[in-house]
Amino acid sequence: MRELLTHSAVYMFSASSKRREAIDEQRFVEDAFSQATYALEQFSLEREVARHIKLWMEEKYGPTWHCLVGSEYKVAFTYESKSFLRFYIGKKCITLFRHPY
């Protein structure tokens, strides 16, 4: 299995209990990492990987998710609180963010 090298995240969950929030955040990160790993193994094109992750995230966590996949890109965007995740699998960077548009 590929290793999660780094991640920085502001999660989409806001539960009243700190313990519950931590569990939800961990599950969210694990889900995203698992689907990204699967997609990188199944698809050769980065756009196919991004599309798979986006559709899976929308099915599991609701609309509207955006996904960027690549080994070299820079981004600057505004995102809503608790709706952003970025991590690396090998040299591929996966950026997920939720935005209503």
Comparing 35-39, 78-82, 89-93, the range with the smallest average pLDDT is 78-82
Lowest mean pLDDT among 20-24, 50-54, 78-82: 20-24
Q: How far apart are alpha carbons 5 and 14 in whole angstroms?
A: 25
- The domains located in the chain, with CATH, are 4-98 (3.30.740.10)
Question: Are 100 and 26 contacting, i.e. CB atoms less than 8 angstroms apart?
Answer: no
Residue-wise pLDDT for 12-27, tens only, equals 433 344 444 444 778 8
Confidence of residue 101 (pLDDT cuts 50, 70, 90): low
pTM: 0.75
d(Cα 28, Cα 42) in Å, to the nearest integer?
Answer: 21
* CA Rg value for the chain: 13
Mean pLDDT to the nearest integer, 72-80 = 79
Tell me how far apart the alpha carbons of residues 13 and 2 are, in angstroms, rounded to a whole number: 26
For residue 53, name the pLDDT band (cuts at 50, 70, 90): very high
